[in-house]
Amino acid sequence: MPQEKVITIQIEGGAAKPGPPLGPTLSSLGLNVKEVINEINEKTKDFSGMTIPVKITVNTSTKEYKIEVGIPTITTILLKEAGASEPSGDPEHKKVGDLKLEKVVEIAVRSSPKLLSKNLEAAVKSILGSAKSIGLTVEGKNPKDVIREIEEGKHKELIEKYEKEYLNR
């Protein structure tokens, strides 16, 4: 029966370091610390500047390990990308930032494991709804208007450009 040890940590995306507490813990389990840290950083680089949960499951007999990366909340990602520190307390009247639509599409692709949307268009519309609720605009417009434009087929090429990547994540 394999013995498993699970290590759960919070790190900044792409910035795990071999020092304490992670380095000594990995080392005590007989793992190559540098190799594990490099893999964590590679898997979390899309979330640079954000704190994210990482779970490392180690088989203590074979020394095989599996790294699972949690995804920050959509609100956290949107605020970071818009350069805003916090959501608006009054999103109808006080805007805290603006994003390009392509950035919203990229966020949808990056967050696909967390989203329940069947396709990229639905995922983008969901993220636009989140953007509206925290006081962000998209290309200077109310996200609700951008959703309407998507439904009218205005941004079809942009969404098609990323659709395969969304479905393959």
Segments of the chain assigned to CATH 1.10.10.250: 74-167
With the C-alpha atoms ordered 21, 24, 28, 34, is the resulting torsion angle positive or negative? positive
Assign domain 4-69 to its CATH superfamily: Ribosomal protein L11/L12, N-terminal domain (3.30.1550.10)
Chain segment 86-110, per-residue pLDDT in tens:
999 899 899 999 999 999 999 999 8
Q: Tell me, which fold does domain 74-167 have in CATH?
A: Arc Repressor Mutant, subunit A (1.10.10)
User: What was the pLDDT predicted at 158?
Assistant: 96
Residues 6+ apart with CB under 8 A from 169: 109, 112, 113
pTM of the model: 0.76
Selection from 19, 94, 99, 25 nearest residue 60 by Cα: 25
| Alpha helices (H) in 2-135, listed in sequence order | 22-28, 33-44, 74-82, 101-110, 120-133
User: What was the pLDDT predicted at 15?
Assistant: 93
Segments of the chain assigned to CATH 3.30.1550.10: 4-69
User: What was the pLDDT predicted at 77?
Assistant: 92
User: What was the pLDDT predicted at 1?
Assistant: 57
Chain segment 4-62, per-residue pLDDT in tens:
999 999 999 999 999 888 999 999 999 999 999 999 999 999 888 888 899 999 999 99
Question: Of 67-81, 101-115, 126-140, which has the strongest mean pLDDT?
Answer: 126-140
User: What was the pLDDT predicted at 55?
Assistant: 96
The strand pairing partners of 58, in sequence order, are 5, 65
143/135 Cα distance (integer angstroms)? 9
User: What was the pLDDT predicted at 83?
Assistant: 92
User: What was the pLDDT predicted at 24?
Assistant: 94
Band the pLDDT of 66: cuts 50, 70, 90: very high
Residues 65 and 57: beta-carbon distance below 8 Å: yes
